[in-house]
Amino acid sequence: MTETTTTTTSTAQAGRAHVPDTAEAILAHARTLVPVLRDAGPRIEANRTLPEDIVALLRDGGVFRAAMPKTWGGPELTSMQQCELIETLATGDASTAWCAMIGMDSGIYSGYLDDEVARAMYPSLDLANSGWIYPQGRAVRTEGGYRLTGRWKFGSGSAHCDWLGAGCLIVDEDGTPEPDPVTGEPTHWRVLVSRPDAYTFHDTWHTTGLAGSGSQDYSCEDLFVPEERSFSFSDPRRTGPLHSSPDAILRKMSGIPLGVARAALDHVREMAAHRTDRETGTPWTRDHRVQSTIARLEGELLAARSGVYASLTRQWDALAGGTELTDEARVATAIARRHAFRTARDIVQTLFDLVGGSSVYKPSPLDRWLRDAWTMNQHAVAQDSILQLTGNVLLGGKSTSPFF
């Protein structure tokens, strides 16, 4: 099987209005989308992938171009601005924010490719990426590129993406792993990028939460991918804070749990104005139990959010200034990210319990937020293994993660 080499642009290009092209404009536009996404939430979930009109809102709102470089005319949002953008979208719908978070990796991935190649692949700044980067596949080196075989999970947004990545290990014809030519590590991890129609998709995404993300499996066998359309996170071609450390693709993830927790808290606070305790007859606005719970959860969200943005800012400033990160700064973003995911889940669970029986009905957004929160916490960045990996670094050990 051979990858198609036809270059296409977004189908949304014709007749499009001006796309927001600065951080301020993109963030402002995202705020206008929140009520639209909130209303569309049940439809997005039922569709099990983002509907075309929702994808168009993201594309035309400049979301997919968020990380595109300024040298191309892109906005090149900082990691903090990217996180804020995703957080804003997540207050409207978590699945949409998840797909946006993945789709806007286009700008980051482009910095690991030769500039001429990347410009040809992304003739529009508004093309979306998708794909599972961890090395689930194997690629045999051949003339001009690789023959790729494998099956990958969690292809979030793969139904609407323009380019689809697949992580793999490079091996020879006998299956012997090739060492990394840059780091000297015994295995060579690369991401091979192809058009989505080069893969076979599998309808596997039947889940508790984040149903609308369409994170289906995809596979290929003996797919030829040109060398130029592959990259290693250890060998960036572009300089700057978005490429000085490979964790740039993860930094914005915290926006999703923070946004969901914010939406849930706002929802219950608005509900409190019209709700009375059934047993005591006390209005919720004067109920000490409700008052204390809301204040405690606001404090927990404030602390989690502050940790995320403070650690991102510290890292960004160091990378932008060419300052070597301390061990504490290297792992702080990963620790804060995990904490944000876990804290958001606890907040939504507590609010679900506080509201009681009415929260179990699917018309209640609390039901969807809770299921989304539990599902997103199954991602690797929210697992206890992050504590072991970062704790090892804090106690003087060598990092075994490529991302910090």
Q: Express each pLDDT in 181-194 by its tens digit.
A: 999 999 999 999 99
70-73 contact pairs (CB < 8 A, 24+): 72/119, 72/122, 72/125, 73/21, 73/125
In the predicted model, what is the mean pLDDT of residues 303-317? 98
Place of tokens 């951080």: 23
In the predicted model, what is the mean pLDDT of residues 112-121? 98
Evaluate whether 169 touches 177 at the Cβ level (below 8 Å): yes
- Read off the pTM: 0.94
pLDDT of residue 364: 87
Query: Whose CA is closest to 157, among 243, 98, 228?
Result: 98
In the predicted model, what is the mean pLDDT of residues 319-337? 95
Query: Whose CA is closest to 214, among 128, 87, 115?
Result: 128
Evaluate whether 312 touches 255 at the Cβ level (below 8 Å): no
In which band, very low, low, confident or very high, does the pLDDT at 1 lie, cut at 50, 70 and 90?
A: low
pLDDT of residue 6: 40
Q: How far is CA 168 from CA 111, 156, 171, 177, 221, in A?
A: 19, 18, 9, 11, 13
pLDDT of residue 340: 98
Q: Express each pLDDT in 78-98 by its tens digit.
A: 999 999 999 999 999 999 999
Given a cut of 60, whether residue 12 has pLDDT beyond it is: no
Evaluate whether 325 touches 307 at the Cβ level (below 8 Å): no
Maximal CA-CA distance, the chain: 77
In which band, very low, low, confident or very high, does the pLDDT at 4 lie, cut at 50, 70 and 90?
A: very low
Given a cut of 70, whether residue 7 has pLDDT beyond it is: no
Burial of 168 (0-12, 13-18, 19+ CB in 10 A): buried
Integer Cα distance of 261 and 265 in angstroms: 6
Backbone angles phi, psi at 287, to 5 degrees: -85, 120
Q: Which distant-in-sequence residues (6+ apart) come within 8 Å of 345 by Cβ?
A: 257, 373, 374, 376, 377
b/e per residue, 345-359, with b = 16+ CB within 10 A? Answer: bbbbbbbbebbeeeb
Q: Express each pLDDT in 136-177 by its tens digit.
A: 999 999 999 999 999 999 999 999 999 999 999 999 888 899
What is the edge-to-edge ordering of all strands in the sheet holding 129-142? 200-202, 216-226, 145-155, 129-142, 163-171, 189-194, 230-231
The chain-wide mean pLDDT, for the chain, equals: 94
b/e per residue, 249-280, with b = 16+ CB within 10 A? Answer: bbbbbbbbbbbbbbbbbebbbebbeebeeeee
Half-sphere exposure of 57 (CA within 13 A, CB side): 22
Query: Whose CA is closest to 341, among 311, 385, 379, 303?
Result: 379
Per cent of the chain over pLDDT 70 is 96
Q: Which distant-in-sequence residues (6+ apart) come within 8 Å of 154 by Cβ?
A: 132, 215
Given a cut of 70, whether residue 225 has pLDDT beyond it is: yes
Range from 32-41, 274-283, 291-300, 335-344 carrying the lowest mean pLDDT: 274-283
In which band, very low, low, confident or very high, does the pLDDT at 265 lie, cut at 50, 70 and 90?
A: very high
In the predicted model, what is the mean pLDDT of residues 16-45? 94
Integer Cα distance of 121 and 118 in angstroms: 5
Query: Whose CA is closest to 373, among 225, 182, 211, 210?
Result: 210
pLDDT of residue 174: 87
Given a cut of 50, whether residue 9 has pLDDT beyond it is: no
Q: Which distant-in-sequence residues (6+ apart) come within 8 Å of 301 by Cβ?
A: 258, 261, 262, 265, 343, 344, 347
Given a cut of 80, whether residue 180 has pLDDT beyond it is: yes
Integer Cα distance of 103 and 160 in angstroms: 9
Evaluate whether 135 touches 168 at the Cβ level (below 8 Å): yes
Given a cut of 80, whether residue 11 has pLDDT beyond it is: no
